[in-house]
Amino acid sequence: MKVKLIDALLNQPPNKTFLIIDDKTISYGDFLKLVSKTISFLKKSSKKYVFINSEKNEFTLAAYFASSKLGKISAFIDPLSKYPELFTGLSNDDGIYFSNEDYKEVTKSEFKPIINSEQVTHNDISEIIFTTGTTGSPKGVLISHETTLNTAININKFTGLKNADVEMHMMPISHSFGLARVRCCVLKGCTIIFQNGFSNLASFFIALEQYKGTVISTVPAGIQFLIKLTKDKISNYQSQIRMIELGSSPMTSESKIELTQLLPNTDICMHYGLTEASRSTFLDFKKDYKFISSVGKANKGTKILIIDKNDNKCSNNDNGEVCIAGTNLFSGYAFTKIKPQYHKEYFKTGDYGYLDDNGYLFFQGRKDDMMNISGKKVSPIEIEKYINQVSFIRDVACIEAENKRTGLVEIKAFVVLDDKKIVDNWSSEIKKYLKNKIEYYKIPARIVNIDSIPKSHNGKILRIKLKEDNEC
Amino acid sequence: MNLLEFVSELFSVEKDSLKLETGPGDFPEWDSLGHLNLLTELEEKFNITFDMDETMSIQSISDLKKTLEDKGIDCS
């Protein structure tokens, strides 16, 4: 199988705009030149992996495409992650590590026109996406060339992405959703506008206005933030914004309806999936209006099965573990001791939900206690481990909770303090300690002192009781 | 109110690392969620509201300072 993504790049008019980052515009032709130079740079090493420090820029993308063409495996490293200490068995010896400094060397490398794509065998691994594991230990999710291509084709079929579309790309590219959107755009030859989230609202609206963005891809928290701070300003663009794809974290029915009312002419869809099974379902906010509280129906090439604790198939409308089979499945884990769990050909996701009589999937929660903070999966166990290391902490439990003022989900930590060791500004001291240990988005927004952590008879933290008792 | 101190405390970043030109996206903690938290904390603290134009114009601590001072809040 050829690397179709490289072919897609080659098939576009060289002068067509591929990427816009701030004031910089990069054409398909210029981008291919950069890919070619990156290929020359990477060829110098025989190492299998290319660890890409995935800041959102053209060099990162060029490294990804160059790795694909050479049959190397791209491993995206979140710029915020504590690489490589966190990953089991992963070291600098495994591959080339690209920092921004290395990209300067790439631009000096030899340019050779790319004629067509090289052959890559059917099940060759294209990339590794790192995610937080259920035990708090990160793991690498292996994705094949075939899976990335099939998934992108199926997404484009559902969303109807067009060659003329200009996408406002709001997410990190080290994550499954953000990277998949790039692949979708490349397959169709679209223009992509890289934005680093919605923190700079003026930049978002200037780019939307100047480059006539037609598609927005973001997590629900991004859209909720936009509406919260700019009210109905987005509705001024209702005839311009043709499509929005949302995903990576749940969204309330009320928020879905509000967005649909603000943008009545826009096709809005939302997917459900995991890094291990990208875009397993799709929900069209208009066509599936009656089922707006669901996460939609199985996407093309995907099958969903709900099983009970004995691995028996559940009846419709009965809750069980969501299992997924199909062309969108990952190829396995790397740099972890965790083994994926299967039921026949179905991957057991660890999510709970049910299928109704019409085939709509209703997500009910996680089997474990994983939290979802603006689309980033966060294990409470990891945060609790580090808070417990603080000298004046006797016990701790973390949950996700809605901030009543902002309406967005954030991490809330409950701590039991040791009166003999407590310090002034204890909350700030905990945050300062965490800052050196974990990524910023894992640091609890609120830390509350309580007398004791509710636990079961065998010592398991009763997080639901914690939520109920504290009206979270 | 010392605005730099307030921002430093909210985002748990060293006050010395902040300048008046610092703004959303300049460090990881000041992302969209952080920005929303900052504005809502200020709204609650001073019993004020930021309208859409004000929200859009805040691209640095300096802009925020000016917006707050226009509302009669001393940010020295």
For domain A379-469, give the CATH number: 3.30.300.30
At A374-388, the pLDDT tens digits run 777 788 888 998 999
Candidates A22, A200, A225: best to mutate against B (most CBs of B within 10 A) is A200
Q: Give chain A's mean pLDDT.
A: 88
Residue A139's beta-bridge partner residues?
Answer: A131
Q: Can you point out the beta strands (E) in A219-355?
A: 243-246, 267-274, 277-284, 297-298, 302-307, 320-326, 332-334, 342-343, 346-355
| A222 touches B at CB < 8 Å | yes
> Torsion angle of alpha carbons A200, A203, A204, A209, nearest 10°?
160
Please state the rounded mean pLDDT for residues B7-19: 89
Cα(A130)–Cα(B19) distance, integer angstroms: 34
Q: Are strands A73-77 and A95-98 parallel, antiparallel or unpaired?
A: unpaired
Is the pLDDT at A440 greater than 70? The verdict is yes
Contacts of A445 in chain B (CB under 8 A): 37
Is the pLDDT at A300 greater than 60? The verdict is yes
Q: Could you tell me the CA-to-CA distances from A7 to A16, A65, A159, A187, A286 in Å, in that order?
A: 15, 11, 22, 9, 34
Q: Can you point out the beta strands (E) in A43-135?
A: 49-53, 73-77, 95-98, 125-132
Candidates A168, A196, A201, A443: best to mutate against B (most CBs of B within 10 A) is A201
Please state the rounded mean pLDDT for residues A202-221: 94
Residue A438 has a pLDDT of 86
Q: Could you tell me the CA-to-CA distances from A21 to A175, B20, B73 in Å, in that order?
A: 19, 25, 36
Candidates A171, A228, A229, A235: best to mutate against B (most CBs of B within 10 A) is A229
Residue A210 has a pLDDT of 96
Residue A125's beta-bridge partner residues?
Answer: A144
Residue A249 has a pLDDT of 82
Q: Which of B12, B30, B50 sits opposite A199 (nearest CB)?
A: B30
Cross-chain residue pair A198–B44, CB shorter than 8 Å:
no
Instruction: Count CB atoms within 10 A of the CB of residue A105.
Output: 11
Structural domain spans, chain A = 4-361, 379-469
B59: closest chain A residue by CA? A200
Predicted TM-score (pTM) of the model is 0.85
| Homologous superfamily (CATH) for A4-361 | ANL, N-terminal domain (3.40.50.12780)
What tokens appear for A434 in the block?
């965490």
At A129-178, the pLDDT tens digits run 887 654 556 788 999 998 999 999 999 999 999 999 999 999 988 888 99
B24: closest chain A residue by CA? A199
Residue A170 contacts residue A217 (beta carbons within 8 Å): yes
Residue A122 has a pLDDT of 46
